[in-house]
Amino acid sequence: MAAPSFSGGAMASALAAHAGSLPDPFGARAAALAGFARSGLPGRRNEAWKYSDLAEKAGALTALRAAGGDEGTDIHVPIGAFAGLGAVEIIFLDGRLISLPKELPSGLDIGSDPRAEALAAFETFPMAGLAAGLASDPALLLIRAAGKVELPVWLRFIASRPGFSAARVRMEIAAGQALTLYETHEALPESGGALGLSLVELALGEDASLTRLILQQGTKTGVDIAQSLAFLAARARLTQTQWAEGSALARLETAVKAEGEGVRIRLDGGYGVNAGRHSDATTTVKFAAEAGVLQQNFKGVARAGGRGVFQGLIAVDKTANRTDARLRHDALLLEEGAEICAKPALEIRADDVQCAHGNTIGALDAEALFYARARGIPRDLAEQMLTEAFLAEAFTECPDAPGRERLLAAMRAWLGGVQ
């Protein structure tokens, strides 16, 4: 594969050199990289990235080299957040697939297909194109739920050392089938200034259902860009719940296209950031057919020196009448010097719809805090209790109770100062 030409300085040059060294017998990598090559690393001049300037952050990572290779495969992988729940565990370490279960439950098939075409145009999602173009072997891990799958699937993306890495996974759920997906984005302390890229493509057939839980926990020096592209056929259901603690720059981006009528979507989540951490939750939901429903509820908190970002777009095509879509984001600034940027938006081209969005950013309720302290609760504990109650509202609709408890445990640990 000839090295592509990327704009964007030393970091882009390193990415281009690595891309040129990867096998590409079917041209899939070149096609994926084409969109990124035209835009380069996104920054503040890119409207969708103006609050999360990746180009600026990458300036501190110009010495990065690919984190691939055989070394590091003996790294001890810690027990993860969803351990003990019987999930089918799949581990990517620095972009390399290092662990697959020897036996799969009935209805589940796992393979690879480097010839697979992208589900979306990577010109629209350049960082997804970059992840697909740089993905380690396999170039694309393909997971198919063709029948009833009793156990959850657990995707673990782990950064263990400095360098850039990428992984790409596609999950296809056949018509009428249901699956639960756990997904963790983890960074070991020795990973340093790692740049981790991941792309998860989701294709849900008619009447299919996916429950997805995401946990992101990075370091103060790493960059974590996780993109997911979901395509839903008629009457498909997607329920997603996430908790993110940020890194030097972390972005969990979910783009959903409701291609069939009667789609049901639930996107909820929370984030917490402290000094030196940046967490970006970006969602885009596009309705291309009638009678789709979206409910979305995000909660965030920031301490001094932390930056939280929420961007949510609801787009309704002129053919998507009877759409009912509602989005809400609420955030708390816990200390002076905390920062939260929010941009909810609607793009409505149909006449017969019910769509709304809301956003608030403020501080803890002074009266509630006074009430708690008047009953002998110390201030720090009262603030933690009120903040936990505020954040927990974003997890109430998650239908997977065991997984939901693990997300809540991570949230409580963050509030308690366990990083």
DSSP letters along 166-201, please?
EEEEEEEE-TT-EEEEEEEEEE-GGG-SEEEEEEEE
- Tens-digit pLDDT profile for residues 318-343: 999 999 999 999 999 999 999 999 99
Q: Is the pLDDT of residue 14 over 60?
A: yes
70-to-18, 67, 75, 192 alpha-carbon distances in Å: 16, 10, 11, 19
409 sits in the region (left: phi over 0; alpha: psi -120 to 50; else beta) called alpha
Residue of 221, 272, 226, 222 lying closest to 245 (CA atoms): 272
**Predicted pLDDT at 40:** 77
**Predicted pLDDT at 38:** 77
Q: What is the mean pLDDT of residues 191-198?
A: 87
What is the percent of the chain where pLDDT is above 70?
Answer: 92
CA trace torsion 126, 128, 130, 135 (10° rounding): -170
**Predicted pLDDT at 419:** 39
Exposure of 288 in the CB half-sphere (CA atoms within 13 A): 10
Q: Per-residue confidence at 313, pLDDT binned at 50, 70, 90?
A: very high
- The DSSP code for 393 is G
What does pTM read for this prediction?
Answer: 0.94
The CA distance from 262 to 260, in Å, is 7
**Predicted pLDDT at 22:** 81
Better pLDDT: 59 or 228: 228
192-to-64, 161, 164, 249 alpha-carbon distances in Å: 11, 6, 11, 13
- Tens-digit pLDDT profile for residues 17-60: 777 778 887 888 888 888 787 777 888 888 999 999 988 876 65
The CA distance from 128 to 227, in Å, is 6
